[in-house]
């Protein structure tokens, strides 16, 4: 049996960032991860980083490479049935976003974690949470065939949508809200020059598309696909052909194709479980909420959650007050719901919905028309995209 102050379940960006935010406050913590480090790094996620998230990475010393290699984007483009429009984040909000892959953030946080000397246990199997309503909750797990136990003051569930933390909360203590979208995103990563200096979000009768990037030589593209599609039905050549059909003529001319480095299909989901606390267990990131990727809010929400949680834990260990811990769920959920709304809205604005009537489609086009003709409407998109205050 080992003892720590905070046991963190999950070594994705949420768990690793929380671990280092606590480390900076001198709070002992152990991170348990079911997978290997290599597996965690193999998960490709979005790559738009809000300034608030950058600030948290700065504070734990994990942002040097982000500042050196990340691309600062002052705006993004929206293409509607072949005509491109620009949303100028800088002019509308005074702020910008940084394009830098979540995989790279995880890699940077892993390095800082290793340097800090705090414990991270990879391949921790059969993790289970016990005595959550006592003063000393226990985490049990198995490592290399041996049973292990950690006694702690608090547990942070940062283990994603499918994992054990949320499931440790009795069903009648949790309210869940969910929307499943009737399509998926087929994503492709390639070692090719991006089609544009800025991201292009594409609304097209054939379906949504997104031109994103990881660097000046590495592109990330997505196309809306059917949930029934399998990856085998999408050889690279079919992906590039379908993407080209959805782009405006300028983008189509600039499109450089090449072999995929990674290709995967992701379903789109909106989900919130509340409250984000059960006695001594606190949920953060995907363990408590999922957003569809449109707008790239997932990582940034995980960052604001662990920012609030680390501040609340620091207050408790400094002063003995549980005020921050008692208001954590409410505080985090306020920002979560605003990002849920924005991600749902961006998704609704840009995708082809199979069950839409002609009325629904005309309203979608009117919404886009309003976005491009009203500074107020563009500002509403921009201030959400660059990130609401932490």
Q: Which residues are catalytic?
A: 73, 201, 293, 297, 385
Task: Measure the CA–CA gap between 136 and 63, rounded to whole angstroms.
Answer: 35
Contact stretch for ligand PHB (CB under 6 A) within 45-53, 88-96, 155-163, 363-371:
45-53
Q: Where are the alpha helices (DSSP H) in 192-297?
A: 236-246, 249-254
Q: Where are the alpha helices (DSSP H) in the chain?
A: 13-24, 37-42, 51-59, 64-69, 89-93, 102-116, 164-167, 236-246, 249-254, 298-319, 323-350, 358-373, 375-386
Among 98, 212, 329, 364, binds ligand PHB (CB under 6 A): 212
Interface size with ligand PHB, residues (CB under 6 A) = 11
Interface with ligand PHB, residue 224, by CB under 6 A: no
Contact stretch for ligand PHB (CB under 6 A) within 174-182, 273-281, 290-298, 369-377:
290-298
Among 53, 79, 294, 310, binds ligand PHB (CB under 6 A): 294
Beta carbon of residue 158, minimum distance to ligand PHB (angstroms, whole number): 21
Contact stretch for ligand PHB (CB under 6 A) within 27-35, 54-62, 287-295, 371-379:
287-295
Structure tokens belonging to residue 229:
């599609």
Structure tokens belonging to residue 135:
């003063």
Q: What angle do CA 70, 383, 13 make, to 5 degrees?
A: 45
Beta carbon of residue 76, minimum distance to ligand PHB (angstroms, whole number): 8
Contact stretch for ligand PHB (CB under 6 A) within 168-176, 288-296, 301-309, 370-378:
288-296
Among 52, 293, 307, 324, binds ligand PHB (CB under 6 A): 293
**Main-chain phi, psi angles of 228, to 5 degrees:** -80, -10
Which among 203, 132, 199, 209 has a CA at the least distance from the CA of 164?
132
Nearer to ligand PHB, 137 or 295 (CB): 295
**Helix, strand, coil percentages for the chain (3-state, nearest 5):** 40, 30, 30
Interface with ligand PHB, residue 381, by CB under 6 A: no
Among 204, 220, 246, 280, binds ligand PHB (CB under 6 A): 220
Contact stretch for ligand PHB (CB under 6 A) within 44-52, 173-181, 234-242, 262-270:
44-52
Among 296, 313, 332, 336, binds ligand PHB (CB under 6 A): 296
Which among 335, 384, 378 has a CA at the least distance from the CA of 48?
384
Task: Measure the CA–CA gap between 199 and 161, rounded to whole angstroms.
Answer: 27
Which among 310, 223, 312 has a CA at the least distance from the CA of 260?
223
Among 13, 19, 70, 295, binds ligand PHB (CB under 6 A): 295
Scanning residues 61 to 80, which ones bind ligand PHB (CB under 6 A)? Answer: none
Q: What is the 3-state secondary structure (H, E, C) of 19-32?
A: HHHHHHCCCCEEEE
Beta carbon of residue 269, minimum distance to ligand PHB (angstroms, whole number): 14
Among 47, 52, 184, 292, binds ligand PHB (CB under 6 A): 47
Nearer to ligand PHB, 137 or 184 (CB): 184
Beta carbon of residue 360, minimum distance to ligand PHB (angstroms, whole number): 22
Nearer to ligand PHB, 4 or 215 (CB): 215
Interface with ligand PHB, residue 48, by CB under 6 A: yes
Are the CB atoms for 38 and 127 separated by under 8 Å?
A: no
Which among 47, 40, 39, 41 has a CA at the least distance from the CA of 101?
47
Beta carbon of residue 253, minimum distance to ligand PHB (angstroms, whole number): 22
Nearer to ligand PHB, 6 or 247 (CB): 247
Burial label, 342 (beta-carbon count in 10 A; 0-12, 13-18, 19+): buried
Which residues here bind ligand PHB, judged by CB under 6 A?
A: 46-48, 199, 210, 212, 220, 293-296
């Amino acid at each position: 049996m080992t003892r720590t102050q905070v046991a963190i379940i999950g070594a994705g960006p949420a768990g690793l960032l929380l671990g280092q935010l606590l480390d900076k406050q001198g709070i002992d913590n152990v991170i348990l991860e079911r997978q290997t480090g290599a597996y965690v790094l193999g998960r490709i996620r979005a790559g738009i980083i809000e300034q608030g998230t950058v600030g948290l990475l700065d504070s734990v010393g994990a942002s040097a490479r982000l500042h050196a290699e990340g691309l600062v984007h002052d705006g993004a483009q929206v293409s509607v049935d072949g005509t491109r429009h620009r949303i100028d984040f800088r002019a509308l909000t005074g702020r910008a976003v940084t394009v830098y892959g979540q995989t790279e953030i995880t890699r940077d946080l892993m390095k800082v974690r290793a340097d800090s000397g705090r414990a991270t246990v990879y391949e921790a199997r059969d993790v289970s949470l016990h005595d959550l309503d006592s003063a000393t909750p226990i985490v049990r797990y198995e490592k290399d065939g041996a049973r292990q136990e950690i006694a702690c003051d608090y547990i942070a569930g940062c283990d994603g949508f499918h994992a054990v933390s949320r499931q440790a909360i009795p069903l009648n203590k949790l309210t869940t809200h969910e929307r499943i979208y009737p399509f998926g995103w087929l994503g492709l990563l390639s070692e090719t020059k991006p089609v544009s200096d800025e991201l292009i979000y594409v609304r097209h009768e054939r379906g949504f598309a997104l031109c994103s990037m990881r660097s000046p030589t590495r592109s990330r593209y997505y196309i809306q696909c059917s949930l029934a599609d399998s990856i085998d039905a999408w050889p690279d050549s079919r992906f590039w052909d379908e993407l080209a059909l959805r782009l405006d003529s300028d983008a189509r001319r600039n499109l450089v194709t090449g072999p995929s480095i990674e290709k995967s299909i992701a379903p789109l989901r909106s989900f919130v479980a509340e409250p984000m606390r059960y006695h001594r267990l606190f949920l953060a990131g995907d363990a408590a909420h999922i957003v569809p990727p449109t707008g790239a809010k997932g990582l940034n929400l995980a960052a604001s959650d662990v920012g609030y949680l680390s501040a609340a834990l620091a207050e408790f260990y400094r002063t003995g007050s549980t005020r921050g811990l008692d208001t954590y769920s409410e505080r985090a959920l306020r920002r979560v719901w605003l990002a849920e709304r924005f991600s749902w809205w961006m998704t609704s604005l840009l995708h082809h919905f199979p069950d839409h009537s002609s009325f629904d489609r005309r309203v979608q086009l009117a919404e886009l028309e309003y976005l491009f003709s009203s500074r107020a409407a563009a500002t509403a998109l921009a201030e959400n995209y660059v990130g609401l205050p932490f």
